[in-house]
Amino acid sequence: MDRAERAQMAMMLEVCAYPKPGNVDRCHDYSDTRIEHFLASTILARPAFDAAERTGGRVGSLIREAVTLTAGHAGGNTHFGAFILLIPLVLGGDIDGARRIVSGTDVEDAIDFYAAFGLTSVRMPESDDLDVNDPASIAAIRERGMTLADIMAHSAPRDMVAREWTNGFALTRRCADLLHAHGHGRQAIVAAFLDLLASEPDTFIAKKHGEAVAEKTMRCAAEVLGGGRDLCAFDAECIAGGINPGSIADITIAGIYVALGEGWQWDC
Give the model confidence (pLDDT) of 59-77 as tens digits. Answer: 999 999 999 999 988 888 8
CA pair distance 203, 99, nearest whole angstrom: 22
Cβ-contact 113, 66 below 8 angstroms? no
Write down the pLDDT at residue 118. 76
Q: Name residue 41's amino acid.
A: S
Query: Which contiguous run of DSSP H or E holds residue 249?
Result: helix 246-261
Q: How confident is the model at residue 131 (pLDDT cuts 50, 70, 90)?
A: low
CA pair distance 249, 246, nearest whole angstrom: 5
**DSSP per residue, 203-247:** HHHHHHH-HHHHHHHHHHHHHHHTTSS-HHHHHHHHHHHT---HH
Per-residue pLDDT at 239 exceeds 50: yes
Give tens-digit pLDDT for 165-194: 999 999 999 999 999 999 999 999 999 999
CA pair distance 248, 63, nearest whole angstrom: 19
Write down the pLDDT at residue 5. 98
Cβ-based neighbours of 126, under 8 Å, separated by 6 or more: none
Q: Left if phi > 0, otherwise alpha if psi is -120 to 50, otherwise beta: which for 3?
A: alpha
φ, ψ of residue 24 to 5 degrees: the values are -60, 135
Mean of the pLDDT values across residues 203-208?
Answer: 96
Per-residue pLDDT at 135 exceeds 70: no
Q: Please indicate, yes or no, whether the overall pTM of this predicted structure exceeds 0.85.
A: yes
Give which of 81, 93, 75 is closest to 38, Cα–Cα: 75
Sign of the alpha-carbon dihedral angle for 245, 186, 257, 36: negative
